[in-house]
Amino acid sequence: MKFEDIEIEDVDFGAMLEESFKKEEQGSNLVKGHIIKINEEEEQAMIDIGRKNEAVINLEQLKDKEGNLLFKEGDEIPVVITGNRGERPIVSYELAKKREAMNEFISEYNEEQEYIIEGVVTRKNKGGYVVECDGLDFFMPRTLSYLSAKNDVIGKKVKALIVKVDKEKGSVVVSRKDLIERDRARTQEIVGALLESKDPVVGVVKKITSYGMFVDVGGIDGLVHYSQISHKGPVNPAKYFNEGDEVNVVALEYDKKKRHLSLSVKEANPDPWNNINEILEVGDTVSATVSNIEPYGVFVDLGEDLEAFLHVSEISWDKNVKHPKDYLAVGEEINVEVIEIDRENRRLRVSLKTLLPKPMEEFAQNHKVGDIVKGTVSSLTDFGAFVKIGAVEGLLHNQEASWDKSVKAKDIFKIGDEVEVKIIKIDTDAGKISLSRKALEKSPVEVFADAHKVGDIVSGTIKDKKDFGVFIALNENVDALVRTEDLHPLKFDEIEPGQEIKGVITHIDPKNDRIRVSVRRLERQEEREALKHLNEGDEGSMTLGDLIKDKLGK
């Protein structure tokens, strides 16, 4: 309850009241009159009130809301004499109606019964204020008003208690002060009892706001702040209560200056964290209701006045969850596993995905290394592409994207592309799958092996030198190794990258992409080729000795 600043004046109440009555009584005689003439052009009527001169009255007072005249010439009406215009009295029918109504009210007034009026301050006078209620004017002395003289109170709605009725003068005195002080005393009594006992009491929800709700306890409104609704922490009361609901509350404190009563709902109910060990354990599966959804996770109601947090990473095994609302809805009931109980900070964390089958384990049960599968490129990186296969993702590394070592996955794929790949590794412990696209194609060595065999003479360009030999490029995609001992008669120290050399294929292993070439065997190979040519040609034209001498340059 909120009251205005109050100014109390040291005034003789008796003298002030008499002065007020005197002012109200000036020319206020209630008499009977007869309408002797109605002049609609001048909007006036002449009334015979038994005096020397007829009285005049404004015709507007004798009309209803639609503008129709309520009386005709010859009708008797009550009027109050309010003054004179020259020697002609001025009367009021409206004041007469009020005076008659007040007289009727006073005649029926029972002094043993309490009367509380609720009206509007219509005007001031020297002693106080006039309060109109149901067409009746009541006098409220300033010292009984609890209204500040500094403020404009005309038009203000007030409640007041009838404290004096003067039947002779037809006046009723009301006091706002008595009513307020009585309410204050009652408030103090109720609040004192609430604060002293600290026992929960039943209240009724009167109004719900964004910052809390007002609850009526024994006729007094107290505020339950939103932080005092639940042991879960600050909550929106509109999600838990409706206006008119009964609720158990405990009084926390009372601010006498502000006349503010603070209540608590959560203090009227047991705190579940006091015996959380008896309610929950890590690993428990519990039923929960989704209460709030945020981009970073979901809050779920576990009952028992407990709330838990379901992080976005714990909703699904899918690592690409964009927003929890794509998976859950407010009000939905789900089963979750308790994964953390933080007693110090009163926080619970739960998981939904731990109760779901692990996609990696399902994948491993249904697939094996060597299987050929189709998937969709989900993301591209500098080291390769991730391919989504059902509920899992596998890595297609750059070196497995193409046999061309200069090509990267992002050069040949875009996100959303469908690709056929071969599974080359499944690591369920690490949750990783390795894929290969080039494994579905013949390797450059396999293609080379289709056109060449051991013993063929080939030429290549030196690409790299190692302690154990040199690598030569036979074409753009095929390299071969020439071991150090197979370089003779070439000298290792004298050869340089970019130099072209010739040799004989000594080993082809397409499965492991290995080819070896020997320069040392080239001489013997050429000798065999020469002998073969000799044997197939004219035997008398050249002897073996001549052939050897030719080779030796002798």
Q: What percent of the chain has pLDDT over 90?
A: 37
Q: Give the Cα separation of 52 and 152 in Å (integer).
A: 44
- Which residue is associated with the tokens 């200069």? 406
The tens digit of pLDDT for each residue in 157-190 reads 999 999 888 877 778 899 999 888 888 888 787 7
**Residue 285, CA distances (Å) to 38, 52, 355, 552 in order:** 92, 102, 8, 90
Task: Choose the weakest-confidence range: 9-13, 170-174, 350-354.
Answer: 9-13
Listing DSSP states for 189-216 in one string gives HHHHHHHHH---EEEEEEEEETTEEEEE
Q: Give the Cα separation of 407 and 382 in Å (integer).
A: 11
User: 203, exposed or middle or buried, with CB in 10 Å at 0-12, 13-18, 19+?
Assistant: buried
Where does 441-501 have alpha helices with state H? 444-451
The tens digit of pLDDT for each residue in 115-169 reads 898 999 998 887 889 999 988 889 999 889 888 777 788 999 999 999 888 877 7
Task: Compute the average pLDDT of residues 501-506.
Answer: 93
Q: Give the Cα separation of 176 and 174 in Å (integer).
A: 7
Are 222 and 253 in contact by the 8 Å Cβ rule? The answer is: no
Listing DSSP states for 93-126 in one string gives HHHHHHHHHHHHHHHH--TTS--EEEEEEEEE-S
- Write down the CATH number for the domain with range 198-268: 2.40.50.140
Q: At 261, which helix (H) or strand (E)?
A: strand 260-264
**Residue 394, CA distances (Å) to 216, 318, 358, 446 in order:** 63, 13, 15, 26
Residue type, 42: E
The tens digit of pLDDT for each residue in 186-202 reads 878 778 878 777 788 89
- Which residue is associated with the tokens 């964009």? 322
Degrees, nearest 5: CA angle 247-248-253: 115
- Domain covering 272-355 assigned CATH 2.40.110.10 in the classification: no
Question: Which are the contacts of 190, defined by CB distance < 8 A and separation ≥ 6?
Answer: 217, 218, 219, 220
Q: Give the Cα separation of 490 and 473 in Å (integer).
A: 17
- Which residue is associated with the tokens 């003289």? 149
Q: What is the pLDDT of residue 386?
A: 94
Query: Per-domain residue ranges for the chain?
Result: 198-268, 272-355, 359-440, 456-510+519-525
- Domain covering 456-510+519-525 assigned CATH 2.40.50.140 in the classification: yes
The yes-or-no answer to whether 198-268 and 359-440 have a common fold is: yes
Q: What is the total residue count of the chain?
A: 554
- Pairing outcome for strands 246-255 and 201-209: antiparallel
User: 177 phi and psi, to 5 degrees?
Assistant: -60, -50
Which residue, 309, 300, 307, 308, is CA-closest to 333? 300
Where does 230-271 have alpha helices with state H? none
User: 489 phi and psi, to 5 degrees?
Assistant: -90, 5
- Report domain 359-440's class: mainly beta
Degrees, nearest 5: CA angle 161-165-170: 125
Average pLDDT, the chain: 85
The tens digit of pLDDT for each residue in 86-110 reads 888 888 888 888 888 888 888 888 8
More confident residue, 197 or 349: 349
Task: Compute the average pLDDT of residues 528-532.
Answer: 75
